[in-house]
Structure 1
Amino acid sequence: MGNIRTDLALEARELYQQQNRGHIPGVKVDEEEVEGVKISRVHIISPLGEESLGKPQGNYITLEAPDIKNRDPEFQETLSKLLAQEIGKLVSLNKKSVTLVVGLGNWNITPDSLGPKVVDRLLVTRHILEYMPDQVDDRLRPVCAVAPGVLGITGIETGEIIKGIVEKIRPDLVIAIDALASRRTDRIGVTIQIADTGISPGSGIGNKRMGLNKETLGVPTIAIGVPTVVYAYTIGRDSLQMLIDQFADQTSPGSQFYQMLKQMDEAQLDALVHQVVTQELGDLVVTPKEIDLLIGYVADVLADGLNLALHENMTIEDIKHFIN
C-alpha cells in the first residue's frame, strides 16, 4: 500500500504493522482513553523509526473523538481541555513567552479553511500587552496570529511569509494549524494530531511546500492538524481489497479463481484502482457534505484548547468573557 497517503503518524504506524506484522524499530507508542477520547502517542526516536513510518523524528499525539459529530457543547469543552493538556506537554512557556499561531490554508475552500477559522477565534494579546500593559489581566501571555493564505492567492510561498514574520517579531514558539489527509473516512473531522516536528503547507493534498519547523524558522514549531479529506484512491484501494478478501473466503482454496485472487500483488491492485479513480483526472480527494459544520465545530475546539494552553490559569468562561 505504498501509494496510500496519510498525514497521521498513527495511520502510518497502522499501515506499517499491516505490512510487516511486528514491532516497529525506533518507535515507541503509548495509548490511553480519557472521557471518551482515545489518546495515542507515537514517539519516533531514531532514524530507523523515521524511515519506517516516513515521518520526521519527534512526538506525535493523536486525539480520536468520534463524539465530535454530535456537536455537544459539554464534550467540546472536555476535548478542548484535553487538547490544552497535551499541548502543555510539548511546550514550556513563561510569562513573557511570545507565541505566533499560523492558520494555514485557503479560507475560500471549506475543507482547507480550518487554519484561518481557528485564527479568527483566538485570543490575541501581544499588541495589548505591548501598548497597554497596565490594563491587562496578568494571566494573559503575548499571543499573535496570522492567516497568510496560500501561494495561489498571494503569489508568495507561505513559508517565506512566516519566516519573514518570525525574523521580525522573534517569537519563542510557532504553532501551525492546518487541514490534513487521512486514509480512513471515519477519522475525518474527528481526529486531532499534535506534532512537535512542524509541518509542510499543502501536504494534506500532496502539494508540499517549504516546511515550517525549527530548522527553517529557528524556533520550536508545533503543528496541529485535523484530517478533512481522504484520497479517492485510498477508498477505491480499500474497497477492492475488501472485495478480494470476501471472495477468497467464499472460494475453495484449491480452485483456480482462489489462486488468482491470492496471487494479485500490490502493483496489480494499484493499477486497477488507478484505472478507475485517477485516469485523466489526477488525484481526487473526498470530503463529507457536512464538512462545513465539522470545520466550524473543530475550529472552536482547537481555538479554545489553544487559548487555555497559551494563557495562564484560564477557564473556558474566562476565554469567552475576553473574546466577547
Structure 2
Amino acid sequence: MKKSELYRHLTVNLDLALEAHEILRGETGTEVPGVRMDEERYEHCNVTTITIETDEGVKEMNKPKGRYVTMEAPQIRDNDRDTQREITQVLAGKLTELMGIGEDAGVLLVGLGNWNATPDALGPKVINKSLVTRHLFKQSPNELKGKLREVSAIAPGVLGLTGIETAEIIRGIVEHVKPDLVIAVDALAAGSLERIGTSIQLADTGIHPGSGVGNHRAGINEENIGCKVLAIGLPTVVNAAVISGNTLDVLLDELKTSPTLYKIYKGLNPQFMQNIMEKVLSPYKGTLMVTPKEIDSLIDVTARIIAGALGLSLHPGINPEDYERYLQ
C-alpha cells in the first residue's frame, strides 16, 4: 500500500507541505502537477518553498493554493546561540517576503494552542516573548513611525478551555482592532521524528488548528476572519502511525541485503501489514501522538527564535545585532 493511502486510511494528516510533496514525488517519480518547488541553502539551514498554483495541485496536496516555506535547521538542537542567531535572521527575511505590508501596517499576533500542554504551548510562549507596541502608538506615534509597527498580540487558548471557537475570538478582535495582517503561531504534527523542533513552516494560506492531531477546528484564514493571515508552525509531535510506517520502510531496506527474506517480505499482502499496524495502535488508531522528553527545552528555544524573527521582520528600527534585547 502506498504511504499516502496508508496515512489517509489511518486519518493521518501531514501539516508540513514539504512532507506531503516528498511523499507524492516519491510515489510517482514525477513532479506534482500544479506544484512548484524552490530550494535555498544557508550555512546552518535549508529553505524549501512549495507553491501550490492550480486546482489540480490543491487536489493532489490536499492544501489550499499559496506558498509554504519550510526552514529545516537540525542544529537548533545544539543550543548554540550563534547558530540560532543566523537561523533567526534567515527566518525574519522569509517572513518579510511573505508579509508584504507597508511600514504603517498594523499586525495582530495570535499564539494558538494550550499553554497547559507542553507540546501545544509554542504559540503562547512566542506571544510571551514578542514585542507588542499598539498601546505605545496612542502616546507617541511620531517618535515610533518608521521604527516600530503597531503590533498587538493574544493567546486565546483552545476550545476545551474557553468554550469558544478560536476563529470566533480572533474574528471579534479583528473587527475591533482592524489589523492589516494576522500572524498565527501554532504547533504542528510532523511526518518524521527528525523534524520535531527543527523545521519551521511559514504559509500565506492561514491555518487549521489541531488538524495534525485530528482535532479539526474552524480555519483561521482570510475567508473566516476577514483579514489576511500568515501562519507560522513548528512540528512538536509525530503520529504513532507514522512511526510504525517508517519502521516498516526501514525494515524493508535492511531486508534488501538478504534476497531470501526480502522476497518473503515483498510477498506479504499490504492489507496484512496494515492489519498488524492497526492492532499495535489499537485502541488509539490515528490519535496516538508521540513527543520527545526534551520537548520543553525545544519549545523554549524555538519560541525564542520565532519571536526574534517576528521582531526583526515587523520592526525596522530593531538592529539585527541586538534584537535579543527586545525579547520579553
TM-score, normalised to structure 1's length? 0.93
* Structure 1 gap segments, 5+ residues each: none
In the alignment, structure 1 residue 68 sits paired with structure 2 residue 48: no
Please state how far the C-alpha of 1:174 moved relative to its aligned partner: 0.5
Please state how far the C-alpha of 1:208 moved relative to its aligned partner: 1.4
Equivalent residue for 1:162?
170
* 295-304 or 195-204: bigger deviation: 195-204
1:29-40 paired onto structure 2 within 5 Å: 29-40=37-48
In the alignment, which of 54, 79, 86 is matched to residue 46 of structure 1? Answer: 54
In structure 1, how many angstroms separate the alpha carbons of the residues matched to 2:85 and 2:253?
42
In the alignment, which of 130, 135, 155 is matched to residue 138 of structure 2? Answer: 130
In the alignment, which of 280, 283, 288 is matched to residue 283 of structure 2? Answer: 280
Equivalent residue for 2:245?
237
Return the letter of the residue paired with 2:308.
D
In structure 2, how many angstroms separate the alpha carbons of the residues matched to 1:158 and 1:175?
14
CA distance 1:86–1:323, change in 2 (3 Å) = closer
1:178-217 paired onto structure 2 within 5 Å: 178-217=186-225
* 261-270 or 29-38: bigger deviation: 261-270
In structure 1, how many angstroms separate the alpha carbons of the residues matched to 2:235 and 2:30?
27
Equivalent residue for 1:219?
227
Please state how far the C-alpha of 1:209 moved relative to its aligned partner: 0.3
Aligned residues: 319
Equivalent residue for 2:36?
28
**CA deviation digits over 1:17-42, x for unaligned, max 9?**
12111111101101121122111011
Is the CA contact (8 Å cut-off) linking 1:304 and 1:316 kept in structure 2? no
Please state how far the C-alpha of 1:248 moved relative to its aligned partner: 4.8
User: Sequence identity, in percent?
Assistant: 43
Equivalent residue for 2:108?
100
**CA deviation digits over 1:229-255, x for unaligned, max 9?**
001111111112322343354133xxx
2:104 is paired with a residue whose SS is coil
CA RMSD of aligned residues (A): 1.7
**CA deviation digits over 1:115-153, x for unaligned, max 9?**
000000111001111233255474011000000000111
In the alignment, which of 130, 145, 148 is matched to residue 153 of structure 2? Answer: 145
Return the letter of the residue paired with 1:285.
M
In the alignment, which of 244, 253, 274 is matched to residue 270 of structure 1? Answer: 274
In structure 1, how many angstroms separate the alpha carbons of the residues matched to 2:269 and 2:25?
18
Is the CA contact (8 Å cut-off) linking 1:61 and 1:195 kept in structure 2? yes
CA distance 1:52–1:264, change in 2 (3 Å) = farther
In the alignment, which of 228, 233, 238 is matched to residue 236 of structure 2? Answer: 228
* Structure 2 gap segments, 5+ residues each: none
1:131 is paired with a residue whose SS is coil
In structure 2, how many angstroms separate the alpha carbons of the residues matched to 1:125 and 1:100?
11
Is the CA contact (8 Å cut-off) linking 1:129 and 1:142 kept in structure 2? yes
Return the letter of the residue paired with 1:186.
E
* 37-46 or 127-136: bigger deviation: 127-136
Please state how far the C-alpha of 1:266 moved relative to its aligned partner: 4.4
In structure 2, how many angstroms separate the alpha carbons of the residues matched to 1:21 and 1:220?
35
Please state how far the C-alpha of 1:195 moved relative to its aligned partner: 0.4
TM-score, normalised to structure 2's length? 0.92
Please state how far the C-alpha of 1:166 moved relative to its aligned partner: 0.8
